[in-house]
Amino acid sequence: MSAHGPGPAPFGRRLLTVTGMQALGDVYRVLTVADDGPDPAPGQFAMLAAAERWGGGEDERPYLPRAFSIARRKPGESQFLLEDVGPGTRRLCELGEGDQLWVLGPLGVGFRAPEAGRRAILVGGGVGIAPLALLQDRLQGDQTVLLGFRDGARSAGRELLRDAAVASDDGSAGHHGPVTGLLLVELERDQHAVVYACGPAAMLEAVRAICAERGVPAQLALEAGMACGFGACFGCAVPRRAGGYLRVCVDGPVIDAGELDRIDEHAGAPA
């Protein structure tokens, strides 16, 4: 799907410069960095750490870099979607134009193009909508975008994608209820589809169960606590249906739903 094809990441983190930090509503921030690295596949991610004052925050954290999906890629520029949920994301949200950032990536296995004739349904939840933006940029053909948010402030995130139908937990924007309510309606209408999803564990589990019940293929972009992003730490394990574990960083983050058992909130990411 990528214009140039995803090249392997450079070996070692790169020091890049922030070229923009825009608010997307009251909660989310879009971080833009000058990036001449390889073109990412949609669903790939990068490990980010601020070059200055990474550490010494709450509880002397952050220490490890944080994993973020690549939300958008333009020539010479990568974008990431941020939400302040802990000392690492808070520090990243503080960055401004001209600040420097360590970036390792692009990493991991991204989304695969739909089989010919299948409609793509993109299902995103909260800050997990990020990889779906790059996917939408690269997808050709019929597609449907369904995004769920906790509240009205977060629903401003819908602007990251085009033509999105929205659901909110508190009813302040779009459909009142989980985004999977919208997914059920879409699948009722036409099951000849492939579902691409990224969001909180509970949403992914609901998507997995809905798609499994109907025999609809689904590709899920998972999040898990990870220290490295390149298969070294073995921290980001998720149970594999066939037994054992998958590493989200190198076996994913995009994993076929059929490979997974029940998705639990068991591998919470460092925030």
User: Counting contacts by CB under 8 A, is residue 209 touching another protein?
Assistant: no
Q: How far is the CB of 18 from another protein (least distance, A)?
A: 19
CB nearer another protein, residue 147 or residue 222: 222
User: Counting contacts by CB under 8 A, is residue 181 touching another protein?
Assistant: no
Rounded to whole angstroms, the Cα distance separating 208 from 219 reads: 9
Q: How many CB atoms lie within 10 A of CB 162?
A: 11
Q: How many CB atoms lie within 10 A of CB 25?
A: 15
CB nearer another protein, residue 25 or residue 231: 231
User: Counting contacts by CB under 8 A, is residue 91 touching another protein?
Assistant: no
**Interface with another protein (CB under 8 A), residue from 20, 112, 227, 259:** 227
**Interface with another protein (CB under 8 A), residue from 8, 96, 98, 117:** 8
User: Counting contacts by CB under 8 A, is residue 36 touching another protein?
Assistant: no
Show Cβ contacts of residue 208 under 8 Å, excluding neighbours closer than 6 positions. Answer: 218, 220, 257, 260, 262, 263
Binding residues among 121-150 for another protein as defined by CB under 8 A: none
Q: How far is the CB of 253 from another protein (least distance, A)?
A: 13
For residues 127 and 157, the answer to whether their CB atoms sit within 8 Å is yes
User: Counting contacts by CB under 8 A, is residue 85 touching another protein?
Assistant: no
Token pair belonging to 254: 């995009």
Residues lying near another protein in the complex (CB under 8 A) are found at 7-13, 49, 55, 59-65, 102, 104, 107-108, 224-238, 243-245, 247, 250, 266-268, 270
